[in-house]
Amino acid sequence: MPKNIILDCDPGYDDAIAMLLAHGSPEIELLAVTTVAGNQTLDKVTRNALSVATLARMREEIVAAGAHRGLVEPQHVADMIHGESGLDGVRLPEPAVALSARHAVDVIIDLVMASEPGQITLVPTGPLTNIALAARKEPRIVDRVGQVVLMGGAARGGNWSAASEFNIGADPEAAHIVFGEHWPVAMIGLDVTHRALATPDVIDMIDRVDSPVSRFAVDVLSYFQSAYSTYWGADSPSIHDACAVAYVIDPTLVETVDVPLHVELRGELTRGMTVADLRSRPDGGPTTRVGVSLDPERLWKHVIAAIETLSEVAR
């Protein structure tokens, strides 16, 4: 049976690939795409989500806009990577998918409460504001969500600061709430996603699919590569967000460990740090499943298969 997910995202180059992977994979039933301010402002990432949904021919999925800033932290955007639009350089179709009149938080709550317990997985790939607000507004969803598989954090290091990853650093209070609830959480962080490189060979394989969807993906990854090269001096970009979707499709793609994890809120240099206790001393307390490694070859097979599926639908 396909796994029901709600993809909460802030497109963003890698979020766009995550959307294609989720919609094009037979192992996934994408119920909704909800947006949150992160890589760019809420209006911009929501328009990007609607354009990607249009390109991918999403018909039944709900698209809804959510929080325009963090719970406490002032809004931050990653324009140095994703540009002024959030998807700079990429030609986007005019949105032909309707935006829901409901707030993303209400969409999340309504879908979870209308489903059998354990049937929906939340997959946030941006700041965790919407997920935290949903848990606070309707606490009963915590017992009904199957799991939360998030792209964010790191067991070691960061990219927003030396200690924090962008999605967590953009709203540490929301992350503190999400990690602190008693639903199962899998953190697919930088330890995993930095291995998911869109190398020239990968981009060439996608280009060979030769369809509007594949050409869009090639453009996304090419402009992402250019931004990575300029800002980080890296040869290939990491498709962070698609890793969380891939983990839902096949958890064996990612090696994980169950460890205590806390979000630092007060440190002058460590605010937003995900403090994973990797010491081998089981204490019987609550743990988070933390990704530590990834099989990139199998990840890309799933991504390319999804693009091929969407390309056949488009033809």
Give the residue numbers marked as catalytic.
240
Q: Which amino acid is at 278?
A: L
How big is the chain by its Cα radius of gyration, in Å? 18
Give kind and range of the element (H or E) at residue 62. Answer: strand 62-65
Over the range 167-190, which residues count as b (16 or more CB within 10 Å of their CB) and which as e?
Answer: bbbbbbbbbbbbbebebbbbbbbb
Is the N-terminal amide bond of 153 cis, ω within 30° of 0? no
CA-nearest of 259, 306, 79 to 170 is 79
3-class DSSP assignment, residue 78: coil
Q: Strands of 62-65's sheet, edge to edge?
A: 62-65, 28-35, 3-9, 120-124, 145-151, 185-188, 288-294, 254-259
Give the Cα separation of 25 and 131 in Å (integer). 24
**Cβ neighbours of residue 180 closer than 8 Å, sequence gap 6 or more:** none
Q: How far apart are CA 104 and CA 76, in angstroms?
A: 20
Helix (H, G, I), strand (E, B) or coil at 35: strand
Distance of alpha carbon 16 from alpha carbon 249, whole angstroms: 17
